[in-house]
Chain A
Amino acid sequence: MLRFFLIRALRAFMTIVLVVTFAFVVLRLSGDPALIIMGPEAPPDAIIAFRKAWGLDQPIWIQYLSYFGAILGGDLGISMRDGQSAISLVMDRIPATLQLTVPALILKLMIGIPSGVYAALHRDSAVDRGVMAGAVIGFTMPSFVFGLILVLLFSVTWGLLPSGGRDSWMHAILPIVTMSIGGAGILARFSRSAMIEILGQPYMRTASAKGLPWRRVIWEHAFPNAAIPIVTITGFMVGTLIAGAVVVESLFSWPGIGRLLVVSVSNRDLAVVQCILLMVAATMVISNFVVDILYGYLDPRLRNNQARH
């Protein structure tokens, strides 16, 4: 058991290191923070002073090492733009993002899984085809297109809902719906195919042949098996709770992590960008880990797969 955790932890750590390194290199190579923050008209000695103050005059690998050393010491740096600590800047935005992503995740599950299961149970019916068509549209249409359509209908044409900002719960409705639609489509498709595969298994015939009512055959015998692949996808979606809102937050001017990320990237505000990436990677890694544990719970075959030849 200990071995298992150690391997997982090491892998998680490597993932995070890779993400941070990648972000560092890309951001450093794509523009000089001093120039971008001070502006092109700034006097040259001010720029030099800025570079010196932030250590930007050092060779890149020294910058990288000192940055990394700071992270290991728990210091995520301070924003180059307003001198606040990066972590507190990010933390301030988290509640706003979660206000969108958590309800959106619940909505995805509530729409996606039942409609997928229903489609599987009524395979090749008109409802099945309708659901699948909807699912394909849902996850192929980019969220900004879908969001714009919603704004056009509900805000501009009918004036029912606000089109941006974060003043009341009404403001959250359109972003949440926009964000849910793609995930719901993906979940519907996955649930449907998982369910169809399980329904064809011999043990489903056994469950019917022993006289179990149809409803119980589906929910007690089929669904626990179908849940295994569904959990994988859901786990992936949990992993995007922090970072999944970039486009939608920008579209609806919602002051969450996503917008902070966009602003910080365009400013080359490295400390903030890296702080966000670190959190994103951490959520991904943790949700993956939880999925692995859940697998063992859902599928007893993975718990102790004794060798049988």
Chain B
Amino acid sequence: MSATNLIEANDLVKTYISRKGLFGTPTHVRAVDGVTLSVAPATTLGIVGESGSGKSTTGRLLLGLEEPSEGQVQFDGRPMPKLKSNAWRQLRSRMQLVFQDPLAALDRRIPIGTQVAEPLDIHAVGSEKERKDRVETLLQSVGLRRDQASSYPHELSGGQRQRVVIARAIATNPDLLVCDEPVSALDVSIQAQVINLLRDLQETRGIAMAFISHDLKVVRNISDRVAVMYLGRIVEEAPSEDIFRRPLHPYTQALVSSVPVPGTALKDRIILQGEPPNPAARPSGCAFHPRCAVAMERCRVEIPAFVSVEAGRKAACHLVPATSET
């Protein structure tokens, strides 16, 4: 991979041990099963997938909040330091997480200004006075008023709370922001405000973003590149422009087609049968084959490799021919 990427993940695997029932024997569940991806500075990688696809786990692995069972994450050309080590702690200021529920991310007994200042205090940035100024600037840059620093989370609306979380996340000028469903809990009119905010912040600060979401429309709008996950694996990755206009993998096609677009009849769309399987009971071969309309015998037995299929596009499907350059 190129050296210009801010973060690279190679063949990440995360295995959890799960016990079926109170008395069952423990089984190993591969929540993330061989994920390779990268994010360049000042760009956004959208990660889409349904529940159980492992997209949130991938986000936590990227941040180094969990140790991969196999594979490696490289941040800024260096391997991710060991969990809870000093080097790891220092890295925290360079990578931040924004997740779905802002109320859970904030302490309801502490004024928001103090909470935004927290990462500055932890990483001992500037004097107390400088920190106070910086908090006010941060609040303004996410579209809140300076005087709202003394407000408590419950005094703000859902959208404003997510702004506070974002202000705290960018307080240390991070290079990477992992956003896990950051707008899913917000109403549509507010959702657009937060999406625009994230895009502005990326533009002015050159932050790289991994944007995890189940909402394809939002991902379409915010991402440069998009990776589609199914049952712990990336099945397709391509520029946002191409993947939604011309999805190659049958799963991506179904996913794109499932988004209701006003004016198109539901009947014209691909409606997948069945549900995503449980990661603990992964189908043989290509995990998507039981739901795939074009599956062949080969799909049942052989896991398709994730390979380049066109310039800048990769897919893992036996039916999408690989380009010769790989």
Contact yes or no, A309 B52, CB < 8 A: yes
What's the tally of chain B residues with a CB closer than 8 Å to chain A?
Answer: 17
Contact yes or no, A304 B18, CB < 8 A: no
- Chain A's closest residue to B54 (CB) is A309
Partner of B23, one of A3, A307, A308, A309: A3
- Chain B's closest residue to A5 (CB) is B23
Chain A interface helix/strand/loop/mixed: loop
Specify which chain A residues have a CB less than 8 angstroms from the CB of B69 in the assembled complex: none
Contact yes or no, A1 B23, CB < 8 A: yes
Contact yes or no, B279 A4, CB < 8 A: no
B229 CB-CB contact with A under 8 Å: no
Best-buried of B19, B21, B51 by chain A (most CB within 10 Å) = B21
B232 to chain A, nearest CB (A): 10
A157 CB-CB contact with B under 8 Å: no
Q: Complex formed: what's the CA distance from A302 to B280 in Å? A: 19
Contact yes or no, B21 A304, CB < 8 A: yes
Contact yes or no, A309 B51, CB < 8 A: yes
B144 CB-CB contact with A under 8 Å: no
B188 CB-CB contact with A under 8 Å: no
Q: Would you give the 0/1 interface string for B255-297, flagging 1 where the beta carbon is closer than 8 Å to chain A? A: 0000000000000000000000011100000000000000000
A201 CB-CB contact with B under 8 Å: no
B73 CB-CB contact with A under 8 Å: no
Which residues between 43 and 80 of chain B lie within 8 Å of chain A, taking CB atoms?
51-52, 54
Q: Complex formed: what's the CA distance from A185 to B190 in Å? A: 48
Which residues between 189 and 231 of chain B lie within 8 Å of chain A, taking CB atoms?
none
Contact yes or no, B22 A4, CB < 8 A: yes
Q: Complex formed: what's the CA distance from A304 to B22 in Å? A: 6
Specify which chain A residues have a CB less than 8 angstroms from the CB of B246 in the assembled complex: none
What are the 10 closest A-B residue pairs judged by CB atoms, nearest first? A307-B18, A304-B21, A309-B52, A1-B23, A4-B23, A307-B280, A306-B20, A309-B279, A4-B22, A309-B31
Which residues between 16 and 48 of chain B lie within 8 Å of chain A, taking CB atoms?
16, 18-24, 27, 29, 31
Best-buried of A4, A296, A306 by chain B (most CB within 10 Å) = A306
Which residues on A are within 8 Å of B, measured CB to CB? 1, 3-4, 296, 302-309
Q: Complex formed: what's the CA distance from A261 to B297 in Å? A: 77
- Chain A's closest residue to B21 (CB) is A304
Q: Complex formed: what's the CA distance from A8 to B278 in Å? A: 31
Q: Complex formed: what's the CA distance from A3 to B20 in Å? A: 14
- Chain A's closest residue to B17 (CB) is A307
B192 to chain A, nearest CB (A): 29
Specify which chain B residues have a CB less than 8 angstroms from the CB of A3 in the assembled complex: 23
Q: Complex formed: what's the CA distance from A306 to B18 in Å? A: 8
B20 to chain A, nearest CB (A): 6
Q: Complex formed: what's the CA distance from A226 to B16 in Å? A: 33
Specify which chain A residues have a CB less than 8 angstroms from the CB of B21 in the assembled complex: 303-306
Best-buried of A1, A3, A303, A309 by chain B (most CB within 10 Å) = A309
Q: Complex formed: what's the CA distance from A309 to B53 in Å? A: 9
Contact yes or no, B278 A308, CB < 8 A: yes
Q: Complex formed: what's the CA distance from A308 to B31 in Å? A: 11
Partner of B20, one of A296, A304, A309: A304
Specify which chain A residues have a CB less than 8 angstroms from the CB of B19 in the assembled complex: 307
B285 to chain A, nearest CB (A): 21
> With contacts A302-B22, A303-B21 known, what are 12 further pairs, Cβ within 8 A?
A4-B23, A303-B22, A304-B21, A304-B24, A305-B21, A305-B22, A306-B278, A306-B280, A307-B16, A309-B16, A309-B31, A309-B52
Q: Complex formed: what's the CA distance from A308 to B280 in Å? A: 8
Specify which chain B residues have a CB less than 8 angstroms from the CB of A307 in the assembled complex: 16, 18-20, 27, 29, 278, 280
Q: Complex formed: what's the CA distance from A206 to B27 in Å? A: 36
- Chain A's closest residue to B26 (CB) is A307
